[in-house]
Amino acid sequence: MPEMNTASMPDIVFAILFFFMVTTTMRSETLMVKVHIPTASEVQKLEKKSLVTYINIGPPTDARLGTGTQMQLNDRFAQVGEIQDYIAQEKASMNENDQPLMTVSIKADEDTRMQYITEVKQALRQAYALKISYSARKGDN
Amino acid sequence: MAKSSRKVPGLNASSMADVSFLLLTFFLLVSNMDVDSGLARRLPPPPQTEEQTSVDVQRRNLLVVLVNSQNETMAANQHSTEWYANEAELRGEVGGKVALKDRVKEFVLNTSNSLDLPELEEQDFGAPIGVVPVTAAHVVSIQNDATTSYKAYIAVQNEVVRAYNELREEGARKYFNSSYSELTDEQKDQINKLYPQRISEAEPKNYGGGE
Q: What is the pLDDT of residues A23-49, one digit of tens each?
A: 776 656 678 888 888 888 888 888 777
* B78 and A CB contact within 8 Å: no
With beta carbons less than 8 A apart as the criterion, state whether A30 and A75 touch. yes
Specify the pLDDT at position B4: 60
For residue B36, which residues of chain A lie inside 8 Å, CB to CB? 45-46, 49, 52, 54, 105, 107, 133, 135
Specify the pLDDT at position B211: 34
* Least CB–CB distance from B149: residue in A105, A107, A110: A110
- For residue B25, give the amino acid letter: T
Task: Tell whether the model's pLDDT for residue A106 goes beyond 80.
Answer: yes
Q: What is the pLDDT of residues A73-82, one digit of tens each?
A: 888 888 888 8
- Return the ∠ at Cα B81 (arms to B135 and B142), rounded to 5°: 60
* B94 and A CB contact within 8 Å: no
Closest by Cα among B62, B63, B45 to B53: B45
* A4 and B CB contact within 8 Å: no
* A42 and B CB contact within 8 Å: yes
Specify the pLDDT at position B209: 42
| Residues A94, B53: Cα–Cα separation, whole Å | 31
Model ipTM? 0.78
Give the mean pLDDT of A89-104.
86
* B43 and A CB contact within 8 Å: yes
DSSP 8-state class, residue B10: P
Domains along chain A?
29-138 (3.30.420.270)
For residue A124, which residues of chain B lie inside 8 Å, CB to CB? 43
Give the mean pLDDT of A16-25.
80
In this prediction, the residues of chain B whose per-residue pLDDT falls under 50 are 1, 205-211
Q: Give which of A36, A114, A125, A140 to mutate to test B binding, by max B Cβ within 10 Å.
A: A114
Task: Tell whether the model's pLDDT for residue A84 goes beyond 70.
Answer: yes
Closest by Cα among B160, B68, B161, B32 to A114: B68
The pTM of this model reads 0.78
DSSP 8-state class, residue A107: E
- Would you call A125 and B146 a contact, using CB atoms and an 8 Å cutoff? no
* Every domain of chain B and the residues it spans: 57-206
Specify the pLDDT at position B133: 85
* B20 and A CB contact within 8 Å: yes
